[in-house]
């Protein structure tokens, strides 16, 4: 946890965290593109991806806005930004900053986007206030957030269920909400955005899919927080991780990930 920044983000930047976020982003790409399609032509737009991590959707935005457009990725994690800058398109820049108080000028973006930030860091209302401030009049504010309660594996397994409960409990205990998707439409409407739209997506994962290690690897990134909060002891955690990974490696096992709510609306003109 980085105390100089607002919010309660509990995921550590352990070795493997960049890879975990990239695999997740790759799996989500078709759904992210389906949302961007709904925005219409984006040539020349100025876009901001708040809490972009090592890439976020900055690459997808860069391709849509073209050479005359501009994409800014903002994150509090210097290691993620260093990685992101190495692969950045010519129309993209990455900035170190706080999602809740970016310091960027009012009304400067056609699109302000956040994926898995309001749920994992908490206080979506405050993030939405900042996003609204940054969007141009009539600009789009878009959020993509998960509902972790839809994580189910088949055949069921107690280690999977244990890790799922732990995942949800860590976020809840620190004041974040990995089930934010359920109330996202409400929260965005309450923030005063107009013409609010709502899409959902649910990914299915098999042993052969890149996202197979999603649950164990996310819990690995929450290890320090889970132990500090006293939600599990280290040997139980290691046992659950090993048993869950053994189960997910079986060719007949599958699981559904978190459902993702994509909700976007426009600021007043
Ligand atoms: C779950 S990751 C998602 C990364 C990216 N949006 C994606 O979908 O691949 C959440 C990101 O939000 C960033 N973050 C959390 N709290 C933040 C804050 N207060 N200011 C800036 N970035 C923050 C984290 O560093 C992390 O990169």
Q: How many CB atoms lie within 10 A of CB 62?
A: 21
Distance 249 CA to ligand 1 centre (A): 29
In contact, 86 and 108? CB cutoff 8 Å: no
Residue having the nearest C-alpha atom to atom 9 of ligand 1 = 56
Distances (CA, A) of 68 to 53, 104, 136, 203: 24, 20, 17, 34
CA angle 21, 25, 27 (to 5 degrees): 120
Q: Is the pLDDT of residue 254 over 70?
A: yes
Q: Which CATH class is domain 17-266?
A: alpha beta
pLDDT band at residue 1 using 50, 70 and 90 as cut-offs? very low
pLDDT band at residue 129 using 50, 70 and 90 as cut-offs? very high
> Residues lining ligand 1, CB < 6 A?
5-7, 9, 21, 25, 51-53, 56, 75-77, 80, 98-100, 115-117, 120-121
Distance 13 CA to ligand 1 centre (A): 11
Task: Report which secondary-structure segment, H or E, holds 197.
Answer: strand 194-206
Pocket test for ligand 1, best of 114, 121, 131 (most atoms within 8 A of CB): 121
Q: Helix/strand/coil (H, E, C) string of 61-115?
A: HHHHHCCCCEEEEEECCHHHHHHHHHCCCCCEEEEECECCECCCCCCCEEEEEEE
Task: State the closest ligand 1 atom to the C-alpha of 25, by its place in the atom list counted from 1.
Answer: 9
List pLDDT tens digits, range 68-114. 999 999 999 999 999 999 989 999 999 999 999 999 999 999 999 99
Distance 117 CA to ligand 1 centre (A): 5
Distances (CA, A) of 228 to 142, 222, 224: 33, 10, 6
List pLDDT tens digits, range 33-56. 999 999 999 999 999 999 999 999
Distance 50 CA to ligand 1 centre (A): 7
Distance 253 CA to ligand 1 centre (A): 30
Distance 189 CA to ligand 1 centre (A): 23
Distance 53 CA to ligand 1 centre (A): 5
Token reading at 187: 């929260």
The closest of 14, 8, 257 to 153, measured between CA atoms, is 257
CA angle 97, 81, 245 (to 5 degrees): 115
In the chain, what are the domain boundaries?
17-266
Task: State the closest ligand 1 atom to the C-alpha of 53, by its place in the atom list counted from 1.
Answer: 27
Report the alpha-carbon distance of residue 22 to residue 214 in Å, rounded.
11
Whether pTM > 0.95 for this model: the answer is yes
Q: Is the pLDDT of residue 2 over 80?
A: no
Pocket test for ligand 1, best of 53, 95, 128 (most atoms within 8 A of CB): 53
pLDDT band at residue 237 using 50, 70 and 90 as cut-offs? very high
Report the alpha-carbon distance of residue 268 to residue 233 in Å, rounded.
50
Report the alpha-carbon distance of residue 115 to residue 51 in Å, rounded.
7
- pLDDT value of position 3: 56
pLDDT band at residue 5 using 50, 70 and 90 as cut-offs? confident
DSSP assignment of 124-182 equals HHHHHHHHHHHEEEEEEEEEEEEEGGG-EEES--HHHHHHHHHHHHHHHHHT--TTGGG
Rounded (10°) CA dihedral 230, 231, 233, 236: 180
- pLDDT value of position 195: 98
Share of the chain above pLDDT 70, in %: 99
């Amino acid at each position: 946890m980085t105390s100089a920044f607002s919010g309660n983000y509990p995921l550590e930047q352990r070795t493997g965290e960049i890879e975990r976020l990239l695999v997740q982003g790759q799996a989500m790409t078709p759904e992210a593109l389906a949302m961007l399609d709904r925005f219409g032509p984006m040539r020349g737009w100025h876009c901001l991806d708040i809490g972009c991590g090592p890439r976020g959707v900055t690459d997808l935005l860069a391709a849509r806005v073209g050479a005359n457009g501009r994409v800014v990725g903002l994150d509090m994690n210097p290691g993620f930004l260093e990685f992101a800058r190495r692969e950045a398109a010519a129309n993209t820049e990455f900035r170190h900053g706080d999602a809740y108080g970016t310091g960027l000028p009012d009304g400067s973006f056609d699109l302000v986007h956040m994926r898995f930030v309001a749920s994992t860091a908490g206080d979506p209302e405050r993030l939405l206030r900042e996003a609204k401030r940054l969007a141009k009049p009539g600009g789009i504010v878009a959020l993509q957030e998960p509902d972790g309660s839809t994580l189910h594996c088949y055949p069921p397994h107690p280690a999977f269920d244990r890790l799922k409960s732990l995942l949800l409990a860590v976020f809840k205990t620190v004041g974040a909400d990995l089930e934010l998707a359920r109330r996202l439409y409400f929260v965005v409407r309450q923030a005063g955005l107009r013409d609010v739209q709502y899409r959902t997506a649910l990914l299915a994962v098999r042993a052969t899919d890149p996202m197979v290690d999603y649950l164990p690897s996310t819990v690995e990134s929450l290890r320090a927080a889970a132990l500090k909060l006293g939600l599990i002891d280290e040997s139980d955690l290691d046992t659950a991780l090993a048993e869950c990974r053994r189960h997910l490696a079986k060719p007949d096992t599958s699981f559904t990930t978190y459902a993702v709510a994509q909700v976007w609306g426009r600021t007043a003109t």
